Amino acid sequence: MATPAQTPGLDPSRVAEIIVAGDGERPGRRGSGYLVGERWVLTAAHSVPASASAVTVRFDADLPTHWTAPARVLFRAESADVALVEVVGTAARKPITPPRYGLVPDGDLVLRCSAMGFPRFKLRDGTPRRSPHATPPNRYRDSCHATGTISVLSNRREGTLEFIVAAPDPHPDPARSPWEGMSGAAVWHRDALIGLVQAHHRPDGPGRLAVARVDQWFGLLTAEELYLLRRTSEFPAGPDGLAGSLTPSPVSGPRLGSLPDTVPLRELDGLVTALMALPVVRDRTRLDLVLTNVNPAIAANSPRDATLRIDVLGIVRTCLRYPGTLDELLDAVRLLEGGSIGRTRVDQEAAELARRQGLDQRPAAVSPTPTGAEADPWAMMWGS
């Protein structure tokens, strides 16, 4: 068995495809998971039902490091929808560094997150290019690297996190979800595992997933289950051992909140051109995702257009009619773009626009924005 790379945060070689055989009467199912120790995989409890006759874990399918092994369920806690699966008969050749587990406090925060798993909409017909001599059947399920945001204050009553991602097309069968098989995928903020994909609630739309929170396991798991997690993957003994709490931090970048809505179009040209150069703006799906994280009135009232420049200009002009919303939009873009050259150019154009309009850029007291602030040191929003 190949040894997964030792990297912080999400390591694709440790992402498990969970293959479950039925009991003879019920069909099997697929799920996702993550190798948290030399032979232990975390996944969702409902991905490995008690009725399963056999469980198999697969890693790096059709790659040179591919390996597959039978597994057994050590525990499945339906209360927290988490299960710990043990690989049978084999283990990593070198020690596996357990993940850091993260605390997500209640607050007006928006976190950039990512997850990797094997949802149903990634089913493919044919033979993988990386394995041209693979034996039939010529159908396979590919991986999905989902990146997006978590708005912390959503789903408080359910006790989950709402993971907003690019929406796949609906499944042809209205009774099926395109996200089937993604359950159990580890969800990461920076280098900390903060939850497992739990469910896709249809009324939320195809671009939102519910995530079971790691920081709630202390109150939902039994003492024996918590002991097994500590022994196998160094899960902390209490909430104090979780990776540092996130707190709102000041937004970096020039502020345009007091820019009047009477600014001439020619004054906005530089900022609009800089925004158009960003991948997150050129991709209409991602741009729509950005707009869902700012004032809802922007998406509702912007005169959308098929021509990108006119579309972006219309969005910016609409933001100016709602004081402070242009800053929300730019903060979302900054988080998605990180420290890219394109993000730097947007900041430069925003600063020049503020200078020409005589806006006061002196530091001011920071308060959470309507969409929250993200604690990354380099940016502020965007990773069944």
Q: What is the pLDDT of residue 17?
A: 95
Q: What is the pLDDT of residues 279-310, one digit of tens each?
A: 888 887 778 777 877 776 776 666 677 788 88
- Number of alpha carbons in the 13 Å side-chain half-sphere of residue 127: 9
Residue 245, both tokens? 């709490």
Structural domain including 332 reads: 265-356
Q: What is the pLDDT of residue 128?
A: 67
Q: What is the pLDDT of residue 131?
A: 57
Same domain, 92 and 130: yes
Helix (H, G, I), strand (E, B) or coil at 229: helix
What residues form DSSP beta bridges with 116?
145
Residue 364 located in a structural domain = no
- Domain count for the chain: 2
What residues form DSSP beta bridges with 18?
31, 57
Residue 74 located in a structural domain = yes
Q: Report yes or no: 217 and 82 within 8 Å, Cβ to Cβ.
A: yes
CATH code at position 194: 2.40.10.120
Q: Report yes or no: 124 and 139 within 8 Å, Cβ to Cβ.
A: yes
Same domain, 269 and 236: no
Q: In which residue ranges of the chain is pLDDT below 70?
A: 1-7, 23-28, 90-94, 127-137, 171-172, 244-252, 296, 299-303, 338-339, 360-384
Q: What is the pLDDT of residue 40?
A: 94
Same domain, 51 and 100: yes
Q: What is the pLDDT of residue 9?
A: 86
Same domain, 228 and 272: no
Q: What is the pLDDT of residues 341-361, one digit of tens each?
A: 888 888 889 888 888 888 765
Residue 257, both tokens? 């909140």
Residue 254 located in a structural domain = no
Residues 6+ apart with CB under 8 A from 19: 28, 30, 55, 56, 57, 58
Q: What is the pLDDT of residue 93?
A: 53
Residue 283, both tokens? 């991709």
Q: Which residue reads 């730097």 in tokens?
A: 344
Q: What is the pLDDT of residue 119?
A: 93
Q: What is the pLDDT of residue 161?
A: 94
Residue 6 located in a structural domain = no
Whole-model pTM over 0.85: no
Q: What is the pLDDT of residue 303?
A: 67
Dist. CA 279–CA 290, nearest whole Å: 12
In this structure, are strands 192-199 and 100-101 parallel, antiparallel, or unpaired? parallel
Residue 286 located in a structural domain = yes
Q: Which residue reads 């002196």 in tokens?
A: 362
